[in-house]
């Protein structure tokens, strides 16, 4: 049986139903450990801590204990270790890490490439979003845009308002959604970077992504 030190990180306290909550991460990690014959020796949590911050106290403790006990570091996914590729690569060089979404046999080199790709994807998404908004503003200077990460989900008074809000939401997410990736991959990507659904939920399904793509295609044909 393999031994592991479980590590959880959340940027902020969230509802227990959130995919990023401590409770959800712990449940996913424990289920993975049970399925793969892994004994979790100890749990460490960093709560209200950004993934871009280095020198996290409990992460340092987890890595130190993993080294002393010759154990793995077990996380829900690599973004819990760090949002910075350089920090992920440093940690991967210091200890063995298991990403529960990639499986126990994932090559460390693959994990390193995944961390580099994740950082590139976040930066590329940011550029695409800015380019899309700039283009739409040029087409209609009076159009207003909100913060993609803080989309307001307010009560609407008519079906016309609801439709307009849904169109606006779809346009903002077009750079992330209209790709060659599968519906499942896009859904996981949206959740991994913390994008909420139009109704404020944390969980994206392939069906939700499909519906969003259909709306974007309809808008592009108007």
The reported pTM is 0.54
Q: Look at the alpha carbons of 28, 31, 37, 42 in this order and tell me if their dihedral is positive or negative.
A: positive
> 2-115: which CATH topology?
Rossmann fold (3.40.50)
Determine the distance from the C-alpha atom of residue 55 to the mean position of all C-alpha atoms in its chain, rounded to a whole number: 21
Ordered by start, the domain boundaries in the chain are 2-115, 146-220
> In this structure, are residues 85 and 49 in contact, taking their beta carbons and an 8 Å threshold?
no
Structure tokens belonging to residue 163 = 């439709």
Q: What is residue 149's DSSP assignment?
A: G
> In this structure, are residues 20 and 27 in contact, taking their beta carbons and an 8 Å threshold?
no
pLDDT in tens, the chain (222 residues): 799 999 999 887 654 446 668 888 888 899 999 999 999 999 999 988 877 777 788 999 999 999 999 999 999 887 788 777 777 778 888 888 888 877 777 665 566 566 555 555 555 556 666 666 666 667 667 655 555 444 444 444 445 566 777 877 887 788 788 877 788 888 888 887 778 888 888 888 888 999 988 888 777 654
Structure tokens belonging to residue 135 = 């283009």
Phi first, then psi: give them for residue 149, nearest 5 degrees.
-90, 0
The predicted pLDDT at position 111 comes to 62
* Nearest by Cα to 216 from 158, 175, 159, 156: 175
> In this structure, are residues 214 and 182 in contact, taking their beta carbons and an 8 Å threshold?
no
How far apart CA 184 and CA 105 sit, in angstroms, is: 22
How far apart CA 150 and CA 63 sit, in angstroms, is: 34
> In this structure, are residues 42 and 65 in contact, taking their beta carbons and an 8 Å threshold?
yes
Sheet (strand 72-75) strand order: 38-47, 2-10, 72-75, 97-99
């Amino acid at each position: 049986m393999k031994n592991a030190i479980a590590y959880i990180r959340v940027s902020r306290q969230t509802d227990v139903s959130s995919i990023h909550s401590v409770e959800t991460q712990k449940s996913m990690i424990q289920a993975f450990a049970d399925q793969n014959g892994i004994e979790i020796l100890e749990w460490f949590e960093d709560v209200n801590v950004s993934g871009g911050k280095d020198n996290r106290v409990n992460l340092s403790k987890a890595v130190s204990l993993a080294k002393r006990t010759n154990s793995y570091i077990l996380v829900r996914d690599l973004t819990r270790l760090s949002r910075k590729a350089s920090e992920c690569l440093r940690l991967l060089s210091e200890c063995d890490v298991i990403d529960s979404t990639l499986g126990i046999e994932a090559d460390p080199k693959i994990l390193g490439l995944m961390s580099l790709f994740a950082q590139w994807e976040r930066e590329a998404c940011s550029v695409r979003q800015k380019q899309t908004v700039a283009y739409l503003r040029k087409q209609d200077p009076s159009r207003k845009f909100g913060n993609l990460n803080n989309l307001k989900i307010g009560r609407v008074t008519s079906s016309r308002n609801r439709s307009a809000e849904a169109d606006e939401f779809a346009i903002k997410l077009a750079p992330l959604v209209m790709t060659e990736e599968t519906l499942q991959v896009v859904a996981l990507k949206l959740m991994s970077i913390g994008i909420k659904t139009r109704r404020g939920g944390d969980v994206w399904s392939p069906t939700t992504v499909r519906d969003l793509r259909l709306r974007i295609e309809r808008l592009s044909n108007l």
